[in-house]
Structure 1
Amino acid sequence: MGSAWISPAMAQVNYHIDLTTPEHHSASVSVAFPETKNNQLVVNLPVWRTGKYDILPTADGVRAFRATDSKGRELPWTRSASGEWTVNLSKPTQVNVSYRLHANELGVRLRHIDASHAFLDASGVFMYSPEFRQDDITVAMDVPKSWRSFSGMESGKHPHSFKAANYDVLVDSPIETGINQHFSFKADGRDYEVVFWGEGNYDTSQIVEDLKKISGQAHVIWDDYPFERYVYMVHATSGASGATEHLNSTIIQLPRFMFRERDDYLRFISTASHEFIHTWNVKAYRPQGLVPYDYQSENMTSLLWISEGSTSYFQNQLLLRAGVITAKEYLADLAKRVARNLHTPGREVQSIAESSLGQWTNTFGDYAINHSVSIYSEGYITSMALDLQLLNDTKLAHSYRDVHRKLYQDFKLPIGFTVDDVKGILAGLTGRDYQKWWQENVDTPKSHDFDGLLAQAGLKTHYADDKQTIDVGITLSSAHHDLSINHVRKGSPAWNAGIVAGDEVVAVNGLKVTAPGFTKRLEDFNSGDKISLTVFKNDQLTPIEVEVQSVPKGKLTITAVDKPSAEQKAFLKAWLGIDWPFDDKGKFINKEDD
């Protein structure tokens, strides 16, 4: 790859993007790289973006790539990989690269440009050269007159411009520019901004107030901040949803009319809490396999469950301590997670460590549920089990929060932590060897005794309805009137009878059945009855005998055990940071919980 000439230290890479005609999701991008004395300059566009562990076709949006020297003369180049261009040089020169960019990937939170705004994640917008990855950066934008621009990056000398210490800061500091609403507040000595794009049924006052409460709770886990200023970006969309953490900002998306109802709002605010926690867990410290980011290939680690699952575990605890959600809402969410775990046969097949390593090739659907676990949901459960174990082993003196406080203290980037480092922290807090616990809970598929775990805090699982209902273990398509089967739970009657995802149910005992009536039709039978399900299997009409079973009818709930002890109440206080929330009859005390 050329001669061994050395490029100047601490040069500056200058980016420019023209967004003045955004109607067709397009922009013009140019990059001025400093002088290089090598005979080639490799230019890359990342093939994945931080926060989404998945290879993406980012370069598909690039057209009209062009390279010129310091005098504007054309330079020859070749496309050397999916996200790589190699510019050939005959003598030392500054290299200027330009290209057209198509940007309509809103839901991926990569790049989106339209007449009202542009959301720019550098992973899909700004090319870089490994040679100058650590050099200073400026970004200048030409935008329509009515637009306002925001980023976690420091503002530049001119309007709609920003600067960063290097490409790693740029790639983790997205830009939101356009027609928007802007708010600011202070919390615990730090500055915060909230930017809203898109019309919707959100209440800006409530959101800003709750974000302020969340932002003031970081001290519960960590003893310092990795930022001075933080930007919450909120998109009210026509359907896209999701969120991504960044170095000192986050982007949160929700369909525009899914903010008002309490359940919808809880989804939004818990996501905001999740991404805020990521500012420490992932952005300030992360597993060794993720350090440094390799933007052109996968970063592998068996600890991705700590990065994502533990963040999910802490998100509602922060909300609970901040008073944004009630104890009843917290336990209702926990009950859903427990129920999801119990209905995921993959927990008996795949370990959470293996799931972490397989995240880059993770698939969804029937196979995932039956043969896999999620770094998010199973990572949450593993984090809870570890938290309760730590509280028990230290007589409430230490919790899983202390593990993350120590990770932040001892493994700030560019240091990455390993499995042995985490085990060392656990041993230091407890005086015990966690090798066996780790083997049984992390490296091996695990089915947890939830009642045993929760009993330590005076809690138990319970089904709200004591009645039973009939089940065969299939989940139909979410489309109305569609009897196509999405999932067949491993070990269920349908699974044992050979029914698979993709089959389509048309009749029960020879009588036509509709999607809305399928569940009710099953209730005509008793546990142990054998029925005939007629399905289309590979387009052939096939009758299949199935022995139905009974399952609890109501939702799983978490409530107080009978006659909880003072020790159990103290355990819950040390765990969640709240006083015992039940009265003597097991009812929630807080009137907001009724």
Structure 2
Amino acid sequence: MKVSKLAIFTAGIFFSASTLAEVQYQIDLTQPQHHLAKVNVTFPESSADTLTVNLPVWRTGKYAVLPLADGVRLFKATDDDGNALNWQRTATGEWTIELQEPTEVNVSYQLYANDLGTRVRHIDESHAYLDASGVFMYSPEFRQDKVNVSMTVPKGWQSYSGMESGRSKHSFVADNYDVLIDSPIETGVNTHYSFEADGRDYEVVFWGEGNYDAEQIVTDLTKISSTAEVIWDDYPFERYVYMIHATSGARGATEHLNSTIIQLPRFNFRERKDYLRFISTASHEFIHTWNVKAYRPEGLVPYDYQKASMTELLWMAEGSTSYFQNQLLLRADVITPKEFFADLAKRIDRNLNKPGREIQSVAEASLNEWTNTGGDYAINHGVNIYSEGYLASLSLDFNLLADTELAHSYRDVHRKLYQDFKLPKGYNVDDVKNILASLSGKDYQPWWQSHITSPFSLEFDSLLAQAGLVLSYGDSEKATVYSGLTLTGQHNDLTLAHVTRNSPAWLAGIVAGNEIIAVNGLKVTTAGFKKRLEDFNAGDEIELTIFNNDKLTQVSLTLEEQPKGDLAIEGVSNPTNAQKAFLKAWLGIDWPFDDAGKFI
């Protein structure tokens, strides 16, 4: 063994260490029923006194610190002769191994993987989903070295990843750990499809039974995958993998470098509203392949896997992706104009009923995302990088279209970011402002100050009028009463999830966590509470009996009025040519309304 080390050292005169080095990962999944696996990692020879080994404390795509190291037991480190090496746990996701002489280091540990909903790691008798952030340790010393992943799996399993295949059908290779961590693996009993779109190869992998129509999904994904040219001028990949989980309850999605994972409860695919949620998510994650994975804000370049990575531009990374997702579907003819505008109307309605828009800016929300726990405080005093980031993008798009007489749109901003700030570069606020100035010939600092670094409330009527659109609550002019109370939604639970700031209930001193017992002295149930309030008129004073910190008390409040029905977007009658042209430049579609402003 000593001769081998000398030979390698001598070869180092002619070849760099990075040329020879490769990190080897092996994972044994042959006993998956208890969510357990055994992981072995072999790091190249190190001549340092210690080798630091890490498991990330967060995963890409979710801006929150996670207890990923809690799934690790039986940690062991040995040298290249199999001798045990001393080590100690030095941080949440860090192990420090002592080295007496230059040696390869082999690390092994037991992995517990039962975190399906976080899309980090899940192993059972039917599959394993492996995101490296919660599965494979790395050493900063060898982070840029090539990696090889080999898996031992039960008979009959099939393995897929956005990474290149290795020497066997259950192995993969990547240029470095950053590619590995952004290329999850799905292995197990699954269904596989492939298609080609715009010169690129795509695969779709389904795990889990459900009421989805696989053929329809593949058809629509093919359409989506052909529309990227409306924003960008080329692709950051040659091959892309859509991974779809039909689950027992877990839902959500995560973008990756060359793939995405989308989860939905197994019977939440067939209804049109459920399918729209799914296909919009697929579009969202596909767009992320450019916006975040090919270019992203400086604060996220490079990723620091051991601590929060701060940037005030998360609204642009996430909210702008949300903004484009349904536009891609509309242009691909996957959704109708009516469905597109129904979604936009819901977003506007939620914003109008979110008091937090008066308190927090989207820049501050971006910086706060790592500590955002949601709930009552977030609704009343904060905004969301996705929903309010969407509306900031909408406003910016309309401003650009107006300022450039429809010559440029927000799509051009992202095309320019992709052209000029591909990784390993990162862009900052000044870079975005410079792009806006170059496209429009105007200084966007005042707009930025009023919409991004300050809380903003859009004048939706005047904004949408530019595209010939109007907001409406439909044919009904009736109103209903408003209290500002929202229940948890749990069965037979009259506990308040939140109380809207400055609402009648808020002004009466009612707070989230209070439990409602009666209205005007008469007992109410969860199902009957909303109907009970409908017995009253705006301006009526009612008395609620509630438990507040287990103490029974009575509180009076005066009900207010709110519109009845769902907010909708319609077309104006007799739109001008300028309004039609604006809509066309914005969405790429012809005027979709009849003479009365109703959808054709």
Q: How many residues align?
A: 585
State the 1:336 CA deviation.
0.5
Aligned partner letter, 2:76: R
2:155 to 134, 145, 159: 145
State the 1:586 CA deviation.
1.5
1:270 to 264, 280, 301: 280
Q: Deviations over 1:494-535 (max 9, x none)?
A: 000000001111111111122222222222222112111111
Structure 2 residue 30 is the aligned partner of structure 1 residue 8: no
Aligned partner letter, 1:528: G
1:196 to 176, 181, 206: 206
Task: Give the SS at the match of 2:471.
Answer: strand
CA distance in 1, matches of 2:515, 2:290: 47
Q: Deviations over 1:124-167 (max 9, x none)?
A: 00000000000010000000110000000000011200000000
Task: Give the SS at the match of 1:250.
Answer: strand
Structure 2 residue 521 is the aligned partner of structure 1 residue 521: no
2:481 to 457, 463, 470: 470
Q: Deviations over 1:86-116 (max 9, x none)?
A: 0000110000000000000000000000000
Aligned partner letter, 1:410: D
Structure 2 residue 560 is the aligned partner of structure 1 residue 543: no
Task: Give the SS at the match of 1:440.
Answer: helix
Partner of 1:421: 431
Structure 2 residue 251 is the aligned partner of structure 1 residue 244: no
CA distance in 2, matches of 1:443, 1:276: 28
State the 1:566 CA deviation.
1.1
Partner of 2:503: 492
CA distance in 2, matches of 1:233, 1:9: 32
Task: Give the SS at the match of 2:568.
Answer: strand
Structure 2 residue 320 is the aligned partner of structure 1 residue 310: yes
CA distance in 1, matches of 2:343, 2:18: 52
TM-score normalised by the chain length of structure 2: 0.97
Bigger Cα displacement from structure 2, 51-60 vs 476-485 = 476-485
State the 1:33 CA deviation.
0.4
Matches within 5 A, 1:566-585: 566-585=577-596
State the 1:576 CA deviation.
0.7
Task: Give the SS at the match of 1:70.
Answer: coil
Matches within 5 A, 1:129-278: 129-278=139-288
CA distance in 2, matches of 1:540, 1:67: 57
Task: Give the SS at the match of 1:367.
Answer: helix
State the 1:461 CA deviation.
0.9
Structure 2 residue 105 is the aligned partner of structure 1 residue 92: no
CA distance in 1, matches of 2:349, 2:567: 6
Partner of 1:443: 453
CA distance in 2, matches of 1:520, 1:471: 12
Task: Give the SS at the match of 1:546.
Answer: strand
Partner of 1:592: none
CA distance in 2, matches of 1:565, 1:159: 60
Partner of 2:365: 355
Task: Give the SS at the match of 1:479.
Answer: coil
Query: Is contact 2:572-2:596 (8 Å) kept?
Result: no
What value does the CA root-mean-square deviation take over the aligned residues? 1.0
State the 1:8 CA deviation.
2.1
Q: Deviations over 1:467-489 (max 9, x none)?
A: 10011111112112321111100
CA distance in 2, matches of 1:532, 1:246: 52
CA distance in 1, matches of 2:493, 2:134: 37
Task: Give the SS at the match of 2:596.
Answer: coil
Bigger Cα displacement from structure 2, 509-518 vs 413-422 = 509-518
Structure 2 residue 355 is the aligned partner of structure 1 residue 345: yes
Aligned partner letter, 1:581: P
Q: Deviations over 1:265-311 (max 9, x none)?
A: 00000000000000000000000000000000010000000000000
Partner of 2:128: 118
CA distance in 1, matches of 2:42, 2:550: 58
Aligned partner letter, 2:508: A
State the 1:563 CA deviation.
2.3
Query: Is contact 2:165-2:171 (8 Å) kept?
Result: yes
Moved >6 Å (runs of 4+): none
CA distance in 2, matches of 1:397, 1:246: 32
Task: Give the SS at the match of 1:499.
Answer: coil
Partner of 1:587: 598
State the 1:561 CA deviation.
2.1
CA distance in 1, matches of 2:355, 2:216: 40
CA distance in 2, matches of 1:96, 1:516: 59
Aligned partner letter, 2:414: H
Q: Deviations over 1:194-234 (max 9, x none)?
A: 00000000000000000000000000000010000000000
Task: Give the SS at the match of 1:60.
Answer: helix
CA distance in 2, matches of 1:449, 1:304: 24
CA distance in 1, matches of 2:507, 2:184: 49
CA distance in 1, matches of 2:39, 2:482: 56
Structure 2 residue 333 is the aligned partner of structure 1 residue 323: yes
Partner of 1:53: 63
Q: Which ranges in structure 2 are unaligned for 5 or more consecutive residues?
A: 1-8
State the 1:331 CA deviation.
0.2
State the 1:560 CA deviation.
1.1
CA distance in 2, matches of 1:491, 1:215: 45
Task: Give the SS at the match of 1:583.
Answer: coil
Task: Give the SS at the match of 1:23.
Answer: helix
Aligned partner letter, 1:442: I
Q: Which ranges in structure 1 are unaligned for 5 or more consecutive residues?
A: 590-594
Structure 2 residue 45 is the aligned partner of structure 1 residue 27: no
CA distance in 1, matches of 2:371, 2:43: 34
Fraction of identical pairs, as percent? 70
1:563 to 574, 581, 584: 574
Task: Give the SS at the match of 2:518.
Answer: strand
2:290 to 277, 280, 288: 280
Bigger Cα displacement from structure 2, 326-335 vs 519-528 = 519-528
CA distance in 2, matches of 1:566, 1:8: 65
1:407 to 388, 393, 417: 417
Structure 2 residue 564 is the aligned partner of structure 1 residue 530: no
Partner of 1:432: 442
Task: Give the SS at the match of 1:9.
Answer: helix
Query: Is contact 2:570-2:599 (8 Å) kept?
Result: no
CA distance in 2, matches of 1:462, 1:179: 49
CA distance in 2, matches of 1:519, 1:141: 54
Query: Is contact 2:43-2:106 (8 Å) kept?
Result: yes
Query: Is contact 2:318-2:389 (8 Å) kept?
Result: yes
CA distance in 2, matches of 1:517, 1:563: 45
Aligned partner letter, 1:378: E
